[in-house]
Amino acid sequence: MTVWSRAVVRWRCSRVTNLTYRGFCYNKPSKTDLQVPPLPANLPAGSPASSFKDKGRNVQWVFLGCPGVGKGTYAARLSKLLGVPHIATGDLVRHELSSHGPLASQLVDIVNQGKLISDEIIIDLLSKRLEAGEAKGEAGFILDGFPRTIHQAEILEGVTDIDLVINLKLREDALIAKCLGRRICSECGGNYNVACIDIKADDDKTRMYMPPLLPPPHCENKLITRSDDTEDVVKERLRIYHETSRPVEDFYRRRGKLLEFDLPGGIPESWPKLLQALNIYDDEDKKSAAA
């Protein structure tokens, strides 16, 4: 597998020279490093996932998309299906915030204002997570929330191969409603959404229905709202994201690695269509639907 370590990396690009990041160092994998767990046998020949058996490693994918679009939900499902770790930079940030470490106070101000966290901080957190995964023998990954800037994409390309970038899209009115409906169980950490989104069809868009993802009874009285899930902060996050995401999308589009997927509705409607777009079969999901 790819070998990661924390180091100082000097990264040169056309617009910025002698830019120093505390982040990744890439070492060429040996034959021993390439011994990774096999992918699920139910992946069809020719699918994006099954083709990486020939490379001797598991998939290395990225999920892009606006805050609240559902990157974490779909990345986690694919992670379980393909047997690779799901690494969400948002979770890394929240873990750092809860640890009360040296970065916590700095991160609190950034997150509460809806601003993007600097490349240096994100890369440092991600490199620590990848290093820990390497020590546990993890193979492959699905990144969620990284890269968010063109500089991050350039750095990532310099240290490892990204096979596929899945760009999830959702209309903005639904996005805002989803973000404002997010809830977390203060006891178990479960993620839920109390918003019931039902947007009528108009001239150029079909009706969109996204049912709420309600908690089990034992979590109902323990739900809390994220401090940054206010309408003003959500809109500011979306504005910043749109400004910075286009260069990243173009970066991967030029390399033929970008899959753009418009979410047609909630999970029951969108998940099978996403698998179809990826040419992946989920036998367990089909069994559940038939039951």
Pick the catalytic residue from 71, 77, 129, 178.
71
71 labelled catalytic: yes
Query: Quick check: is 128 catalytic?
Result: no
Cα(98)–Cα(47) distance, integer angstroms? 39
Compute and round to an integer the Cα radius of gyration of the chain: 19
Catalytic residue among 57, 77, 129, 237: 237
Q: Are 141 and 133 in contact (CB under 8 A)?
A: yes
**Of residues 77, 148, 178, 183, which has the active-site annotation?**
148
**Catalytic annotation on 182?**
yes
Q: Tell me which amino acid residue 141 is.
A: F
Q: Which of 57, 178, 182, 183 is catalytic?
A: 182
Say which of 6, 94, 128, 226 is annotated catalytic: 226
The two three-digit tokens of residue 163, written as one number:
């096979």
Query: What is the C-alpha separation between 84 and 36, in angstroms, rounded?
Result: 10
CB atoms within 10 A of CB 268: 10
CA–chain centroid gap for 222, Å, is 26
The yes-or-no answer on residue 148 being catalytic is yes
Query: Mind telling me the catalytic residues?
Result: 71, 148, 182, 226, 237
